[in-house]
Structures are given as C-alpha cells and as structure tokens.
Structure 1
Amino acid sequence: MKYPVLKLKKGRERAVLHRHPWIFSGAIAEPVEAGNGEIVEIQDYHGERLGYGFFSTQSQIACRIFHFSRELCTIDTAFWQQKVADAYRLRRRFVISDHTNAYRLIHAEGDGFPGVIVDVYHEVAVVQVLIKGVEHLLPALAEVLLSYGVRFIYLNVKEVAQRIEQVSLEEGWYAAAPGSPEVEIKENGLRFIVDVARGQKTGFFLDQRDNRRLLGSYSRGMRVLNTFSYTGGFSVYALAHGAELVHSVDIAPAVLETAARNVALNELPQEKHASFAMDGFKYLEKQTPDHFYDIIVLDPPAFAKNARAVPNAMRGYKALNLLAFRKIKPGGLVFTFSCSGNIDKDMFRKAVFAGAADARRDVRILHQLTQPIDHPVNIYHPEGEYLKGLVLYVE
C-alpha cells in the first residue's frame, strides 16, 4: 500500500536516522498531502525511505514515527497486533503475576506506540488517546486486548487532545457493553479500588508500584506522612508493612474516602490511619509538628505541564522539599518525586538541593528512583523518562 510522503529538508534526517520518533514541522521540505492523523511514509531529501508515522496538521510535532524501516511496509491489523504482542510479552515476563494484575501494557513511544497509553486493571483496559492517528489503530488494538482476557475497554480522551489534536472520540466505554467504573485490582498482593472513569490519569498511579514497595520496606514502626496521597497507595503499603501510624493528606475529600476504603479492603488497622483534606503545602507548613514524622512522602502532581511553567515549578519543588526537610525527624527519610516531563532529573535534584541548603540539614541520597518496567523508556526518546524520585536520609 502506498502512503502519502513526508519529505525532510536536506540535512534534517539526522534525528530520524538516530531513531528519535518526533519530526517537527520546521524539518519538512514541502507540503504533505495528508490529513490530520493519517499514516505517512517518511523520506529523506533524496527520496530514501526512513520509516512510517502519524501525521499531524495541528501540532508542532508534525509526525510521530511508529516504525523505522527502509523497507516497504503495509500497516494493517496484523502489524499492530504484533506490536501489542511484543509489549505484552515484556509485561508477562516481568510484571503480571498472581499477585499483580494491574499494569501498563502500552507506554506510548516506549513501546513504539506514539500517542497512546494502555493501562490494564484486571478485566478493564483504559486506553488514553493522545493524538488523532490513534483512531486508525483503535479497532485492531481493541481486538487484541479482548484476546488477552480484557472484557471492557474505557477510552480516556482529555479535552486537550480533542481541542489541539482534533481527536473526535468521546470519553467512555468502547464497543463492548459498559463495565463498572470501579475495579478492584491486586498490586504486589495488596488490593486497591480504582475508578477508571473519575480517577486521575487512568485511575491509579501504576508508575509508583516499585517505589511503594520500597517505602513499605522502611515503614515498620515508623510514623509516615503521605502528602498528595490520592487514594492512599503509599499509605496502604506503609500500614501493610507495620507502620506505627500513617497520615494521608490530599486536597480532595473523595479520594481520601477511597483511601480509607483501601485500608479497610486490606484488613489493615484503621485506627493507625488518619486522613486530612488539605493542600499538601499547607499541611506541612501549618499542621505538621517539628520532628514528628519518621518518613514523609512528597508525590505532587506535575508542576510543569509545559516549558513555560518550568521556572515556577522549580520554585515549587524547592519550597515543598524545604518544608519536609524542616519538619522531618532527625534520622528520617524523605521520599520525594517529580512526574513533570519538562523537569529532568538533574533539574529536580537541583531544586531538592536548594531546599536542603536552605533547611541547613545534612541530607544523603539513599536511592534514586524512576518508573517501573512496564513504563519503559525508548533509549532514543529520553523524553519518555518522566518520573524522578529520591529517597533522602536527613540528619
């Protein structure tokens, strides 16, 4: 099958040859006879084929490459199903087990699927559609998901994708009969309630699975503060591993109710858990006594959703960590994270360093944390490494 051609300007093929999956509009030599979301064949200035991608008429990222090849290729149902099978093989080998039935099956560019994320919660798959081109592969994707034991598919389509990328899909259940928006999952043997329709992101922060388990290993006999707690992932792990008490803080009362349900679901001592519907900054500043908590978790939402927000985000990360350093008990641990893609790990560490310096506490790095196996980073696309974390020992 022939596809419309996207021809690069002379000398602009270097990034593609290095397998970076994004082509910006300024690299295109001539108008592309393709509609928004169509598959195009990428060629260098001399007409040599380099690969295939989704074309965008709306974004500065004019093309997102999903297949690098100099060979003529037919992009059909079998093509997409093989890519899903490759992604599933990785998860089947390293993540899925009798103790864990919630995982990320497709991590956008990390799995060669730009513009789409698929999170599986037991029998429900949540498909996050980020670009128009994903509409073309959705039927094939749905077919293979159902063959892997998924019974229900929920489309997660944000307003920004509809407005900027002109995605025409609506959020809601896809094809099959609608399932329940609440799903019970298992993660490392612990149970959680996930709301795929009303929850943040796709319903649960699967990217913190390994980091939650690490926190649990340090929690026995500890007083733990979990700020920006959402539905209590870190809180449940701390209690399950013998924490003396755990306080969950989030600005949204509804998610704290789910956190309490998760504690009860795991038959953990509810008298050791308390929730506070309050902004994490304000709780640390106004409500937290000095040197009370042995462990403080700082897992805020993304402070920098675009490049323009980076300066304010850096100030925010410094201020948040400064508060924790001032409050933590001597010999305590701070688990601190950033999920802002526009803040790289060096920038994040500088913000944390600035907070430590202002707090005038001796701080040592015990662990450097990132996203788990089912959120792989394409080595040619470092932008996919969005989650940064540090475990800090504070004298």
Structure 2
Amino acid sequence: MSTRVELRRDAGPVGPHQGPWVRRRQVGKVWGPGDPAQLAELTDHRGQTLAWGLIGPDSEITLRVVSFGAAAPPADWLLRRLDAALAGRHALGLRDDGATTAWRVVNSEGDGLPGLTVDRYGDDMVLQIATAAMAARQAELAAFFAARTRGRLFVVTPAQAGEREGFTPAEQLHGDDARLEFREHGLQFEVPAPPAQKTGAYLDQRDNRRLVAELARSCGGRLLDVGCHVGGFAIHAAALGVDAVGLDQSARALACARANAARSGLAERCRWVQGDMFAALDDAALAGSFGVLVFDPPRVASSARDVSRAAGAMTASLGRLLPRVQAGGFAVVCSCSQHLGGEVLDAAMLDARAGAWTRVHALGPGPDHPVWPGHDQGSYLRVHVYQRR
C-alpha cells in the first residue's frame, strides 16, 4: 500500500520556490503506512498531486521532496541521483589523481538526496545518514559506495538525528583510533575518523583556506587562526611562507594540527595554542600584530532563539582580536550556523568598534557542496573577508 501526504487547506504555497521541505504543521492527513522505505505522494487538499518525496513519520519535517510534479520518479531514482552526484564532481575536476583527494560526494538536498551526506577522504568514504528514509536505504547505499572505493566505508549518524527522526542508528565504524588521510591542494593531512568532528574534517572550507593563504602572503605579517581545528588555514598559509599561530580548545585537534604541519615540513612556521576563543585570549603567542585573522567558531546558534546571544559572544571576541590586525590586513569571519547570516557577521564587525573595515569577499563552501535553489537551510556556511582601512 502506498503513502499519500495530504496538505492542509491553509498549508500555504508548496513548490520549488519554497524548497523541498514540507513541515508537520502544513500536513492535514497521512494516508497509508507512512513507510520511509517507500516514496510518498504529496497532494493538495483537493487530491491534486504536487510532488513525490521521502516521508519521516516521526519528524517535524514530514516530507522531503525529491521530485516536483505529478509524474512519479522512476523506480531507480536513487541510483540515478547517486550516479549524477559522482559525475558532477568529476566534471568539477575532483578526481583521485589530483593534488586534492578529499571532497564532498553527496550534499543531501543539494544533490536531490535529502538526509544523505557522503565525503571522500583519499581511498576512504564516510556516509552520514540523518533521516529515517535514508536509514531505510542504508544497505543499498553502503553497497553502492563500497563498490566505488578502494578503502574503508564508514557509516555514521549525527547524535540527535536518530532521536529527531525516530530511527535507530546502525553505524559502521573502524575503531576509536582510525585515521583518514588525504591531500588538499598538495598538502598532506590526517584527521581522526568518525566518531569525530562532522565526517572527519571541514571540507566546505577547502578552497577558502587556499584563498586566505594567498591573502596572507600578499599582505605580509603573521596569520592567526582562531578555531583552527586540525590546522587547515594556518598550514596553508605556512606553505606559502607565512608564519602562523593556531588556537583551539581541543587538545586532540591541536595534536592533529601539529602532526599535519610536520607532515609538510612546516612545523617551524606554526605555533599552536590551547584556549577558548570566547575567553580573554591573553596567551603570549597571541600578542603583537597579524596580517590575517581567521575567526571560525563552531555552530553557535542552533535556532533563531540563539542568534542574539551568539552574535553578542562573537562581537565580544572580535573586539579583543581585531585590534591585533595590522593596517591593510584582513579579518576572515565565519559562521557555520544557518541562522547566523551574513548580515549578522557585518553587524558583529560594526559592533566590535575596532576601527574602519570594508568587506572584500562574501564566500561560502566550494562547488562540491551544491544547494537546491530555494532551500535556504542548505546555505549554512558564510565566510566574510574584511580589510582594515
């Protein structure tokens, strides 16, 4: 028996311009078993078919659309979407034999595969499953990617996803000490494999790390990487001859950053400091002036209610850090919180009251992190580059 999701009379507009999510408050009735392993039909209150999608019976997002229109997707829609995602990366020049061997293979709604994120790290792949519908297809997904990688396959579930979506995670890991090795713009990196941060590293900042390194080389002075994780911004700058200081609260991340710098023969150019980016920041290594400041906090706003508090914390930290940037230097301010938009970053710079600044770049993730047009939730990463004047 098939499943049909019927919208309320007052559901509001539903279509490509509104994005692929249909929320519980828009739904009048669910007809049929509500099986996440099957495609569900979406209709308006008169019974007219609007779309087809993946149902989450226990989720606040009842349906994640995979195809708008009355015609049902073909039976092999999942394999077609997976093949298209791989072909898209190949067309972008992301291939195993390049100077970069880590990239996003599947970016959830951006590839028409809601709830599935896949990252490649050299010979290994990490599958992150965040919905009941993708959990129901885990065996098929694992078989598909196992046939397309020479290394290990990791399957992980975000801590809150199983509870939010009503499914029991079936994770596939390879020990607490497993490592992922990869190259990024010719530099060798190693990160802890899941369970770890995200899928292991923050691949969405890959191209931004190289751009910021080039800015640092151009303007002179040191680079300060606040929230450095495994050292990406600092190590890329060091590779271009820039002395760098990285700060992070995690001793494990800093040990990895130190080892990554050594792998590329850059240990002498990098210093690492353990500390809280929202605290006093008075370590001696952070004193003096810098040509570039990178301020890259973790997700500090999980909902719209958190925005005011998070913006205040960012403003306070920037107020302590921005005076250390030399004239003509750059501040790179990042947000990976979907609710903290670019306007919040601009406001934090103004409210920090640390001199005159102008925005010269408004960046996001690389092209291997595509976004479904109209799906605002998919545009989560903002990276604003400001120059001191």
TM-score, structure 2 as length reference: 0.92
Q: Compared with structure 1, are the counterparts of its residues 91 and 179 closer, same or farther at alpha carbon in structure 2 (3 Å cutoff)? A: farther
Corresponding residue SS for 1:336: strand
Q: Compared with structure 1, are the counterparts of its residues 285 and 120 closer, same or farther at alpha carbon in structure 2 (3 Å cutoff)? A: same
Counterpart residue identity of residue 22, structure 2: I
Residue by residue, what CA displacement relative to the aligned partner does 1:120-148 show, whole Å, maximum 9, x if unpaired?
11121111111111122222322322333
- How far off its partner does 1:34 sit? 2.9
- How far off its partner does 1:11 sit? 5.3
CA distance in structure 1 between the aligned counterparts of 2:215 and 2:112, rounded to whole angstroms: 36
Is 2:289 aligned against 1:295?
no
Corresponding residue SS for 1:18: helix
Q: Is the 8 A contact 2:191 2:200 kept in 1?
A: yes
- How far off its partner does 1:241 sit? 0.7
Tell me, which stretches of 5 or more residues in structure 2 are unaligned?
none
- How far off its partner does 1:13 sit? 6.2
- How far off its partner does 1:17 sit? 5.2
Counterpart residue identity of residue 343, structure 1: L
Aligned to 2:166: 166
- How far off its partner does 1:289 sit? 5.8
Is 2:19 aligned against 1:20?
yes
CA distance in structure 2 between the aligned counterparts of 1:201 and 1:303, rounded to whole angstroms: 15
CA distance in structure 2 between the aligned counterparts of 1:36 and 1:307, rounded to whole angstroms: 31
Is 2:329 aligned against 1:335?
no
- How far off its partner does 1:249 sit? 0.7
Counterpart residue identity of residue 250, structure 1: D
Q: How many residues align?
A: 384
- How far off its partner does 1:275 sit? 0.8
CA distance in structure 2 between the aligned counterparts of 1:48 and 1:88, rounded to whole angstroms: 34
Aligned to 1:384: 378
Q: Compared with structure 1, are the counterparts of its residues 20 and 388 closer, same or farther at alpha carbon in structure 2 (3 Å cutoff)? A: same
Q: Percent identity at matched positions?
A: 27
CA distance in structure 2 between the aligned counterparts of 1:326 and 1:285, rounded to whole angstroms: 13
CA distance in structure 2 between the aligned counterparts of 1:69 and 1:51, rounded to whole angstroms: 5
Corresponding residue SS for 1:81: helix
Q: Compared with structure 1, are the counterparts of its residues 70 and 64 closer, same or farther at alpha carbon in structure 2 (3 Å cutoff)? A: same
Corresponding residue SS for 2:290: coil
CA distance in structure 1 between the aligned counterparts of 2:280 and 2:190, rounded to whole angstroms: 26
Corresponding residue SS for 2:29: coil
Q: Is the 8 A contact 1:95 1:103 kept in 2?
A: no
CA distance in structure 1 between the aligned counterparts of 2:176 and 2:112, rounded to whole angstroms: 29
Corresponding residue SS for 2:213: helix
Q: CA RMSD in A?
A: 2.2
Aligned to 1:122: 122
CA distance in structure 1 between the aligned counterparts of 2:215 and 2:65, rounded to whole angstroms: 42
Of residues 198, 201, 207 in structure 1, which corresponds to 2:198? 201
CA distance in structure 1 between the aligned counterparts of 2:186 and 2:57, rounded to whole angstroms: 46
- How far off its partner does 1:150 sit? 4.7
Counterpart residue identity of residue 12, structure 1: A
Q: Is the 8 A contact 1:107 1:375 kept in 2?
A: yes
Corresponding residue SS for 1:342: coil
Aligned to 2:257: 259
Aligned to 1:112: 112
Aligned to 1:313: 310
CA distance in structure 2 between the aligned counterparts of 1:241 and 1:55, rounded to whole angstroms: 49
- How far off its partner does 1:19 sit? 5.7
Q: Name whichever of 46-55 and 82-91 sits farther off.
A: 46-55
CA distance in structure 2 between the aligned counterparts of 1:198 and 1:266, rounded to whole angstroms: 26
**For 1:89-238, what aligned pairs fall within 5 Å after superposition?**
89-97=87-95, 98-173=98-173, 181-220=178-217, 221-238=220-237
Q: Is the 8 A contact 1:41 1:51 kept in 2?
A: yes
CA distance in structure 1 between the aligned counterparts of 2:341 and 2:2, rounded to whole angstroms: 36
CA distance in structure 2 between the aligned counterparts of 1:315 and 1:276, rounded to whole angstroms: 24
Q: Name whichever of 322-331 and 258-267 sits farther off.
A: 322-331
CA distance in structure 2 between the aligned counterparts of 1:18 and 1:260, rounded to whole angstroms: 46
CA distance in structure 2 between the aligned counterparts of 1:109 and 1:385, rounded to whole angstroms: 11
Aligned to 1:54: 54
Corresponding residue SS for 1:5: strand
Q: Compared with structure 1, are the counterparts of its residues 289 and 25 closer, same or farther at alpha carbon in structure 2 (3 Å cutoff)? A: closer
Counterpart residue identity of residue 4, structure 1: T
CA distance in structure 2 between the aligned counterparts of 1:21 and 1:34, rounded to whole angstroms: 22
Q: Compared with structure 1, are the counterparts of its residues 6 and 181 closer, same or farther at alpha carbon in structure 2 (3 Å cutoff)? A: same
Corresponding residue SS for 2:33: coil
Q: Name whichever of 29-38 and 313-322 sits farther off.
A: 29-38
CA distance in structure 2 between the aligned counterparts of 1:17 and 1:103, rounded to whole angstroms: 27
Q: Compared with structure 1, are the counterparts of its residues 283 and 293 closer, same or farther at alpha carbon in structure 2 (3 Å cutoff)? A: farther
Counterpart residue identity of residue 160, structure 1: Q
Tell me, which stretches of 5 or more residues in structure 1 are unaligned?
none
Q: Is the 8 A contact 1:365 1:392 kept in 2?
A: yes
Aligned to 1:8: 7
Corresponding residue SS for 1:163: helix
- How far off its partner does 1:7 sit? 1.0
CA distance in structure 1 between the aligned counterparts of 2:339 and 2:33, rounded to whole angstroms: 30
Residue by residue, what CA displacement relative to the aligned partner does 1:241-293 show, whole Å, maximum 9, x if unpaired?
110x211111111111111111111122x222111111123363564666521
CA distance in structure 1 between the aligned counterparts of 2:288 and 2:327, rounded to whole angstroms: 7
